[in-house]
Amino acid sequence: MLKHIRFTSNLCNLLSITEQLIHEKGCKKTTLQDIIQRSGLSKGAIYHYVRSKDELFGLILQIKMEKINDEFLKEKENETGLEGPLHAISNGMKYVTDEADVTNNIFIYLLGRKEEPAIADILSHIYEHSIQLSVSWIEAGQRAGVIADTLDANQTAMMFMTFSYGLRVRAMIDPSSMSDASQEFHELMRNTLRKS
């Protein structure tokens, strides 16, 4: 199970190297030994953060969501309307369309192994964490009076997750169709959340 992680230079290095290796070799062929050799960290140092290669991959997905949340919070502080925070979320989703970004590869790799209990736990945690963040964004907009109070935050968050997961799969199958995907996501959010 993934946990809240405190960022250190070792962790940032570990994540960056893991992403490089996945980009070079793919998820399946990237081994913990590769990560140890390239990062210079011991197995024990890596196990301080995660219990397995797969959990490390899940951490990369979790951190992407945390970065989107950080941008959302910055925009929320600077703007009283809906557009700035929505822009932060849709800009954050641009990684889904970026071929250099490995998170789609990680997502598909983990999803293909979901029958393994440890992988199922990782995927469940990432999904629940993403839903919680999405609900918090919607509820922040409701408190600010820019999103209708009648909108069900949980159902809307699940709809947005379904759409974003669909974008991930689409990006893997047909990358050339993804040029306007973040704009599509932005429009979906705006049209769903806009207060009538």
Count of C-beta atoms within a 10 Å radius of residue 115? 7
Q: How many Å apart are CA 133 and CA 131, to the nearest integer?
A: 5
Return all residues near 137 (Cβ < 8 A) that are at least 6 apart. 69, 72, 85, 89
Burial of residue 48 (number of CB atoms within 10 Å: 0-12, 13-18, 19+): middle
| Whole-number pLDDT of residue 19 | 94
Nearest Cα to Cα of residue 127 among 154, 150, 101, 145: 154
With vertex at residue 18, the alpha carbon angle to CA 12 and CA 19, rounded to the nearest 5 degrees, is: 90
| Whole-number pLDDT of residue 95 | 66
| Whole-number pLDDT of residue 172 | 79
Q: How many Å apart are CA 122 and CA 110, to the nearest integer?
A: 8
* pTM, full prediction: 0.85
Instruction: Please report the sign of the dihedral spanned by the C-alpha atoms of residue 12, residue 62, residue 148, residue 143.
Output: negative
Alpha helices for the chain (secondary structure H): 9-25, 32-39, 43-47, 53-78, 83-92, 103-111, 117-143, 153-173, 181-193
Per-residue pLDDT tens listing for the chain (196 residues): 445 566 678 888 999 999 999 999 999 999 999 999 999 999 998 998 888 999 999 999 998 888 888 888 888 888 777 888 887 887 777 666 666 688 889 999 999 999 999 999 999 999 999 999 999 999 998 998 888 899 999 999 999 899 888 888 887 788 777 777 777 777 888 888 876 5
Give the CATH superfamily of 52-193: Tetracycline Repressor, domain 2 (1.10.357.10)
| Whole-number pLDDT of residue 3 | 52
Return all residues near 153 (Cβ < 8 A) that are at least 6 apart. 135, 138, 139, 142
| Whole-number pLDDT of residue 144 | 87
Q: How many Å apart are CA 131 and CA 128, to the nearest integer?
A: 5
Asked if 114 and 50 count as a contact pair (C-beta separation under 8 A), the reply is no
